[in-house]
Structure 1
């Protein structure tokens, strides 16, 4: 056993190069131990074990600085930098996050969970080194899938004229989350096929020095090249061919499904936690119905097709017909393409995860909404019930979308409302529409026949007096639970309202509440500051109506349980009842 004696990179350097593969095997086993028990990013980490061992064998972290793009592949790095117990001992599994984190170790330079950022961040570290007359190496490790992102290409462009030490390690496993898309990947394939000798080398086209390693799991070969480029006086790309999922045959064969996921049985890859009920297919079904009934429909996605339910042959079939377009990790491009397609007569839909849409603010505001083109944007898994890592939270989607002119931002409370909102959004031609798609749908089995062309009309779900709760989307059940408890306590009904439109107020309804209500409580599963509730408070500002706004505190919440976080911020039946005393 070598790993038991590894408490940092200095211990890696003490091992003979002949024994480094054994260390890599033990490191891979540690990764498998953790991900098989609690899940996480699987294929990316399994594919960089040897690469990581070689980096720490040659370079001197944290003096030499590593920047792991998206940090989906940082588990081996964490194991070799003093955090191995989080991968070996179940009692310590929760000691570390799934991403690089400077709060855990000086070997981590940044909190990173979004892609295509490493070269820009590394260039910034390099400039900081330069002004301080430093001599350390700065190394960016970026996957091939991340190269489609605009920030990565902008950084490579600047790196081409930078003239000091910068090492860009391109971990090329011929895979993004799903398959890669874009012309850049034809070039990468030619480079792999020719062992880096193809004349069409876009890295060199940026003005960068270049070296290729075909055997990305051959530690002596990796060490030899890293020793050669260490302390280099100009930028260089080290292009390394690796295998995503290396070490687990089923992960190597099914790279998309093994990008990330929950606990599994090592023997055959079967899930340990069998789902208790089928996955919800509402979004997927609505998109398929659109594609089958509207020959002008085009669905855009940015490297997360499974989030829309499109996998395997079905996805490929629509892609071949030009009806499903995966642009790779390039959300800005997808947003602008959706605007252009809508402008030119297509029924354009762009859907992806809410945390990734924040990259598209300029394209949303300028390319789409300024031009008032009728594309539909599906904002998947927003708010407190979305992802819970501070690198992936989407707790400001209301602030992000609701304040952009020309855009309608809709918040369904049920499956039936979503279906009707989607039909409205994809049939109207007046303006762009975004839909706040919850992680899980409630359903009442009653079709929604609302005419959403009558904008900013809220829905009164329960009619009462004295007190009204305005609940955004998925928090309507909390409001109804509170109303039930209040009636049991006092015998009185309170009003429960779903705004549905987050880009405007139902001023007629709000005015009517003045007649027989004294208190309006707003609840939303996003940040309180700048949210929907404060619009209502502003509306009532010159009246006698008392308004209480509840939402989440403005901070990077991480690793939280949604209901507990809501309760901490007063959003529960118990908390709301306390406001009514």
Structure 2
């Protein structure tokens, strides 16, 4: 039979296809995704698992009039291919290419922009309520995973939806895994339902006033289409439980679902991962995870928590060794923060490891449950700074600014892997207040970071380079770009590293500033409200006569590209910095 995929540009093209043709199309889409992602990287397993589900949704419903909302969006590649973006799919996650996640500005078929989990039911319900008020009779579908539906926000939306007559269909894509395997009592409940051990009348979804159906095979295209056709014209909330296999169609992705969530480049025939040329270096997440394991081996009062990121944060090392003292609480950032506060009050030193972009979801808990009570939880903020291809939804560029506003909270940004290691060591014994330690995504530039432990002074401002006329005040690992940029300089610039961003030693900073004509502040975070802003306040308060230049991320959302391309856009790459430094020092560019 001739290839079907070339004949599909938009969902309307599906309507005339036979069941045999649709099933053939499913295989062609899987191969197409594997071909592109094997070269470009991206989120593989989730999209391979929803091929039939996506075809069925677009075959039955009249998108974009019917609103389709994907939770998180890791699984939306098939959706993008079927909605006019097949020809540009190889630009996925690349600079100026299509986003790796659904995005309203990219397509009318992307009903809601996503990137963080558990938002789909709220968004789809809101659209359903709004459309009903306007006399519209379209349908609203939220596709949410078994890990995401365990989040508090999803429960809040389900609870509300159940007392409405909204035209809403919640599709539970149950594959027993998010990025890591799902955890918690709900996972056990869903497993019992799938195994037929839980009677239909004892159904928690029905108790929320949803009409429940399922579980059904999420790879049986005919069954999916029949179910959606049955549900299409219902006028109250419906819940369809669909069982899928993450990584479906690529043997290695099915066998190792965690690794193949976003595997990087791989052999499209065998599925074997391609060798990473940075393997001699260590990821910052592993510096954290391996150091914490060392500390836990000697300190039985050390406890660690992550909300659904045991592999991504590398807490898995400690979880494997000490499962009672290192736990994954699922996609529940708010719970993770307040749980950490409670465990800390029991006498443990608690490390809560969480991505910068996800910590935003627990801002109230940071203030109300931790900082207000001055409970000494240690927040290890992974993926702080620019994160590359995941783009605007995942950038870790706001944490300095949003944490700066919170009293009692100390903010630390180590300059390298060794300093991160020593920071964690120092905090385990000498911590009397909440602390945030931020470190970036990617690899450390140091091979030999496993040095003997030493206690360090966080408040010390470190002079890294001596100069006479201007000074660079830098915080975090971006200092590597600073020093590379200053390879031309023979003594005009001093460079100072601030491990501690908050609180700042005002007297010491005033003494430093008075020695120089120009101060350049530098941070891998937003300029507004960040480290540079705090230096500006000191200058204004003390009426210092100095020129201040703030470098950082501008006041806009930074879209997907490589980290280096994002550095260039923000003027944080070494060449852009060098041009500025030469201009300041009157060196010809």
Greater displacement, 570-579 / 354-363: 570-579
Show the counterpart of 2:477. Answer: 474
User: Paired residue for 1:318?
Assistant: 322
- Once the two structures are TM-superposed, the CA of residue 87 in structure 1 deviates from its matched residue by 4.3
The structural deviation recorded for 1:261 is: 1.9
Give the deviation of 1:450 after TM superposition. Answer: 5.5
Task: Name the structure 2 match of 1:374.
Answer: 376
2:533 aligned residue: 534
Q: 2:144 aligns with which of 130, 142, 145?
A: 142
1:387, CA displacement in angstroms?
A: 5.9
* CA displacement 1:152-173 (0-9 Å, x = unmatched): 1111111111112110011111
Cα distance in structure 1, aligned partners of 2:569 and 2:187: 47
Deviation, 1:569, is 4.0
Give 1:438 deviation, angstroms: 2.5
Number of aligned residue pairs: 572
Contact map agreement 1:86 1:96 (CA 8 A) in 2: yes
Aligned-residue RMSD, C-alpha: 2.3
Asked whether the 8 Å contact 1:195–1:214 carries over to 2, the reply is no
**SS in structure 2 of the partner of residue 226 of structure 1:** helix
- Contact kept in structure 2, 1:396 and 1:526, CA below 8 Å: yes
Q: Distance in 2 between matches of 1:283 and 1:254?
A: 24
* Distance in 1 (alpha carbons) for counterparts of 2:187 and 2:290: 31
Alignment of 1:143-292 (within 5 A): 143-194=145-196, 197-278=199-280, 279-280=282-283, 281-292=286-297
Secondary structure of 1:168's partner?
strand
Specify whether residues 569 and 139 from structure 1 end up closer, same or farther in structure 2 by C-alpha distance, changes over 3 A only: closer
Give the Cα separation in 1 of the matches to 2:56 and 2:388.
37
Distance 1:429 1:573 in 2: 38
Alignment-derived partner of residue 562 in structure 1: 563
TM-score, with length taken from structure 2: 0.92
Is 1:399 aligned to 2:404, yes or no?
Answer: no
Q: Say yes or no: does 1:460 pair with 2:460.
A: no
Which whole-Å CA distance do the structure 2 matches of 1:245 and 1:388 have between them?
20
Contact 1:85–1:92 (8 Å) recurs in 2: no
Aligned 8 A contact 1:420 1:450 in 2: yes
CA positional deviation for 1:457? 3.2
Q: Is the 8 A contact 1:387 1:394 kept in 2?
A: no
Deviation at 1:180, TM superposition (A): 0.9
- Quote how far apart the aligned CAs of 1:326 are: 0.3
Q: Which runs of 5+ in 1 are unaligned?
A: none
Output one character per residue of 1:401-446: Cα deviation in whole Å (capped at 9) or x when no partner.
2221111110111222112211122212410111012333344878
Structure 2: how far apart are the matches of 1:482 and 1:78?
41
Gaps of 5+ in 2: none
2:135 counterpart SS class: coil
**Which residue matches 1:441?**
444
Measure the CA separation in 1 of the matches of 2:197 and 2:48: 23
Which of 478, 485, 489 is equivalent to 2:488?
485
Q: Distance in 1 between matches of 2:297 and 2:201?
A: 44
Contact 2:164 2:236 in 1 (8 A): yes
Maintained 8 Å contact 1:382/1:394:
yes
> Residues 515 and 267 (structure 1 numbering): CA distance in 2 closer, same or farther, change over 3 Å?
closer
Rounded Cα–Cα distance in structure 2 between residues aligned with 1:308 and 1:565 = 23
Question: 1: distance between equivalents of 2:353 and 2:34?
Answer: 32
Alpha-carbon distance, 1:15 to partner = 0.4
- Give, in whole Å, the separation in 1 of the partners of 2:500 and 2:300: 29
Quick one: higher RCO (CA 8 Å, sep 6+), 1 or 2? 2
Identify if the C-alpha distance between structure 1 residues 578 and 531 changes in structure 2 by more than 3 Å, giving closer, same or farther: same
CA offsets, 1:448-467, max 9 Å, x none?
A: 85643xx6432222233221
Change (3 A) 1:20 1:188: same
Structure 1 residues 268 and 310: alpha-carbon distance in aligned structure 2, compared to 1, 3 A threshold: farther
Instruction: Specify the alignment match of 2:497 in structure 1.
Output: 498
The 8 Å contact of residues 217 and 243 in structure 2, kept in 1 or not, is answered as yes
Tell me the TM-score normalized by structure 1: 0.93
Shift of 1:86: 3.3
Q: How does 1:76-91 map to 2 (within 5 A)?
A: 76-87=78-89
Q: 1: distance between equivalents of 2:461 and 2:533?
A: 16
1:180-204, Cα deviation, whole Å (9 max, x unpaired): 1111111111111118744432211
1: CA distance between counterparts of 2:93 and 2:507? 56
In the TM superposition, what is the alpha-carbon distance from 1:362 to its structure 2 partner? 0.8
Q: Provide, for residues 255-310 of structure 1, a one-character-per-residue CA deviation record: whole Å limited to 9, x for no partner.
A: 11111121211332211343342333311221101211111211101111112324
Using the alignment, how far apart are the partners of 2:478 and 2:202 within structure 1?
54
- What secondary structure is seen at the aligned counterpart in 2 of 1:142? strand
Distance 1:100 1:399 in 2: 27
Q: Is the 8 A contact 1:417 1:448 kept in 2?
A: no
CA distance in 2, matches of 1:2, 1:394: 41
2:309 matches 1:304: yes
In structure 2, distance between residues paired with 1:118 and 1:267:
34
CA spacing shift, 1:369–1:103, aligned 2, 3 Å: same
Deviates more, 1:563-572 or 1:217-226: 563-572
CA distance, structure 1, for counterparts of residue 333 and residue 570 of structure 2: 32
1:340 deviates by 0.8
Residue of structure 2 equivalent to 1:49: 51
